[in-house]
């Protein structure tokens, strides 16, 4: 089964910036997600990098109205299935392997797979994937690299993630092959630790106002 691009795009097009979150404490997940949604960022990626990640996804999925929670840093089928079971509405991987692609085949939850080179993009395109994560964005060539791909691979669109910030987000969003960007700057660790949800809502509102 090819990627459900329509379902994935309906989520990614909700906003110009998808927050990429590392949640250390599940108790912060719900107020953090509510702050982001209040600021206009409804699609939220919680990365599977901490022991709290699955519980955080489950809590946001169950308790935060208006949120579309996804799971990031999915590296294998086991994590894919666990994230779906926890309530993820989309799955994000930094690259691709057979395990993740096989899990995606049998799932109703769409996969946003990562690619960093033209060859990787072509490989995924051949498998029916036309909405990709460009990662690590800045390190892999940044906006100029994606612009160069827009002509030969015109039917593929990207969500660049990796050292994307308020400063350079507009460079990506101005490109015809970029649907949104992923970024962690909207939820800094220090604001999460301080419980400064109003501060995060303000950053989210600034990000939501970005346009290409």
Which of 133, 167, 190, 202 is flagged as catalytic?
A: 133
**Which helix (H) or strand (E) is 171 found in, with range?**
helix 169-173
pTM over 0.85: yes
Q: How much is the average pLDDT of 41-51?
A: 98
Which of 38, 42, 45, 202 is flagged as catalytic?
A: 45
Superfamily, domain 13-206 = Aldolase class I (3.20.20.70)
What was the pLDDT predicted at 2?
79
Q: Among residues 84, 140, 78, 150, which one has the least CA distance to residue 111?
A: 84
- Has 190 been annotated as catalytic? no
- Has 78 been annotated as catalytic? no
pLDDT of residue 212 exceeding 70, the answer is: no
What was the pLDDT predicted at 1?
59
CA of residue 146 relative to chain centroid, distance:
17
pLDDT digits 0-9 by tens, 111-141: 999 999 999 999 999 999 999 999 999 999 9
pLDDT digits 0-9 by tens, 18-42: 999 999 999 999 999 999 999 999 9
Where are the domains positioned within the chain?
13-206
User: Environment class of residue 33 by beta-carbon count within 10 Å: exposed (0-12), middle (13-18) or buried (19+)?
Assistant: buried
pLDDT digits 0-9 by tens, 149-195: 999 999 999 999 999 999 999 999 999 999 999 999 999 999 999 99
């Amino acid at each position: 089964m090819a990627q459900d691009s329509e379902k994935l795009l309906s989520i990614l097009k909700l906003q110009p910036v998808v927050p990429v979150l590392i949640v250390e404490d599940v108790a912060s997940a719900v107020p953090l997600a509510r702050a982001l949604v209040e600021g206009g960022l409804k699609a939220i990626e919680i990365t599977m990098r901490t022991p709290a990640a699955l519980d955080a996804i489950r809590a946001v999925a169950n308790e935060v109205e208006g949120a579309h929670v996804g799971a990031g840093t999915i590296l294998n089928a086991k994590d894919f299935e666990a994230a779906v079971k926890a309530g993820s509405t989309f799955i994000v991987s930094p690259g691709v392997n057979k395990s993740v692609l096989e899990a995606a085949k049998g799932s109703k939850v769409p996969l946003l797979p990562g690619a960093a080179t033209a060859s990787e993009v072509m490989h995924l395109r051949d498998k029916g994937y036309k909405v990709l994560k460009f990662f690590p964005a800045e390190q892999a060539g940044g906006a100029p690299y994606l612009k160069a791909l827009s002509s030969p691979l015109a039917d593929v669109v990207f969500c660049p993630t990796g050292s994307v910030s308020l400063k350079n987000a507009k460079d990506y969003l101005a490109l015809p092959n970029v649907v949104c960007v992923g970024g962690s700057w909207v939820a800094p660790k220090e604001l999460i630790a301080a419980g400064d949800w109003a501060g995060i809502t303000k950053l989210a509102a600034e990000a939501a106002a970005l346009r290409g």
